[in-house]
Amino acid sequence: MGTRALLLTEAPALMPELGAMRDKAQELEQAEQHATDPAERQRLKDRAMRIREKSEQEHGRGSGTMDPM
């Protein structure tokens, strides 16, 4: 996508990708809660955080959600 503005017609095409990224982050966070090894727990936590950050960078914070006002 680069630095060009997101066209409204492109937004629906991004929704499945955004949902998949958020789902993966949630799965990792759940796995983290069940992990018994501290190193594995930290690895899962870090990976989930990187996916969430990437999602927010690429699609904006809370893309497709209600206006906070």
Judged against a pLDDT cut of 60, whether residue 69 lies above it is answered with no
Mean pLDDT, the chain, as a whole number? 76
DSSP letter assigned to residue 2: T
What are the angstrom distances between the C-alpha of 44 and each of 24, 28, 31? 11, 6, 7
* Cα–Cα nearest to 59, from 8, 27, 17: 17
Judged against a pLDDT cut of 80, whether residue 61 lies above it is answered with no
Could you tell me the pTM of the whole model? 0.62
Given this model, what pLDDT does residue 58 score?
Answer: 77
* DSSP string covering 21-55: HHHHHHHHHHHHHH--SHHHHHHHHHHHHHHHHHH
